[in-house]
Amino acid sequence: MQVVSGIQPTGTPHLGNYLGAIVNYVKLQDEEEKAGRKCLIFLADLHAISMPHKPAELHSATLEMVATLVACGVDPSKTVLFNQAQVPAHAEMQWLLTGTARMGWLNRMTQWKDKAGKNREGASAALFGYPVLQAADVLLYQATHVPVGDDQKQHLELARDIAQKFNNDFASEDAPVFTLPEPYIPPMAARIMSLRDGSKKMSKSEPSEMSRINLNDDADTMAQKIRKARTDPEPLPSELEGLEGRPEALNLVTIFAALSGSTPEAVLAEHGNQMFGHFKPVLAELLVEKLGPLRDRFVELKEDREALTAILARGASQARELSAPTLDSAYKALGLVRGR
């Protein structure tokens, strides 16, 4: 088993990132440590340049994301924590894989379609090639398990397709260059939805701050966002079937269940028949109880830029070493003699 995953250092991380991915980084880190292995978690700063961004802010945002991850429980002594920009193998491997990825595959990516919108001609080539870099990120380390939310599933299927085609085209059956990675998606919190619209996922790029709980929101802000979250006038049902066609209600129940380590069924067994005026304050309290300590730790950690820089330097040096054998094999398989 080899666990690898990444998160973009743009925008403020939110409850969706936390429940969909970060909780599993920590869970797998602790399980893997017992087996004597290390997970790799990186800040996808190279991916961040695929959209308009402010260069002066990118490095600070990267350091803040390190502080967030550490505050959430990612432990740099157990996990290799680094940023892509310090490990050139990511960009190199992306180029090697660009020869294998097909235009048609990339054209079908929903993220490309969503982010480029109607302006495909004006979108960056980096946005189009984004999933190839993501494939490089995981294939470089022979990843088997990639903890992500549901929205990244398609990118991982593409990584598998690229790995498979590369192995078929350039490697012998008994000595494949790449391992085929599997997404590791939480059963419940795979897709946390916007608090304003239950049909859209909670996202950093959504203009309304009220649509998401940020991990650095203070207690009052969290409570206010939950109070104002869109719901319907019906009370909560006592069975799961009663949430059909009620995406906002389902989302709040899912958040409650994920945060309390319970299940939606159990939450409904306890809170069924309650009106939202009753349920929302209990949910807000739970959020503050679970996320408040993370926020406090984040606020403290983010001040020590030297310590955060040192974490990334150490992680990058480990990642450079770990990525070297696969990068070498890929060059060799393609008939290239790698420079040193």
Question: In Å, how far are 67, 106, 126, 134 from 304, measured between CA atoms?
Answer: 9, 40, 32, 30
Is residue 115 part of the annotated active site? The answer reads: yes
Q: Is 201 a catalytic residue?
A: yes
Q: Pick from 5, 62, 83, 216: which binds ligand TYM (CB under 6 A)?
A: 5
Residue among 43, 41, 39, 19 nearest 30 (CA): 39
Q: Which of residues 151-180 bind ligand TYM (CB under 6 A)?
A: 151-152
Residue 53 CB, shortest distance to ligand TYM, in Å, is 13
CA angle 6–11–12, rounded 5-degree value = 90
Cα pseudo-dihedral 261, 266, 272, 277, rounded to 10: 0
Q: Using CB under 6 A, which of the segments 2-10, 70-78, 268-276, 307-315 binds ligand TYM?
A: 2-10
In whole angstroms, the minimum distance from the beta carbon of 76 to ligand TYM comes to 18
Interacting residue with ligand TYM among 127, 202, 258, 288 (CB under 6 A) = 202
- Asked if 86 is part of the footprint of ligand TYM (rule: CB under 6 A), the reply reads no
User: Alpha-carbon distance 257 to 279, whole Å?
Assistant: 13
Catalytic pick among 153, 165, 204, 332: 204
Segment interacting with ligand TYM, rule: CB under 6 A, options 14-22, 70-78, 215-223, 243-251: 14-22
Out of 28, 45, 47, 213, name the contact with ligand TYM by CB under 6 A: 47
d(CA 151, CA 14): 15
CB of 8 to ligand TYM, least distance (A): 4
Query: Which tokens hold the place of 175?
Result: 């000595």
Long-range contacts, 202-211 (Cβ 8 Å, 24+)? 202/14, 202/15, 202/16, 203/14, 203/16, 204/8, 204/10, 204/11, 204/12, 204/13, 204/14, 204/17, 205/11
Number of neighbouring beta carbons within 10 Å of residue 54: 9
User: By CB under 6 A, is residue 146 in contact with ligand TYM?
Assistant: yes
Q: Which of 39, 44, 127, 316 touches ligand TYM (CB under 6 A)? A: 44
The residues that touch ligand TYM, with contacts defined as CB under 6 A, are 5-8, 16-17, 20-21, 44, 47, 134, 137-138, 146, 148-149, 151-152, 189, 191-192, 201-202
Q: Any idea which residues carry the catalytic annotation?
A: 115, 201, 204
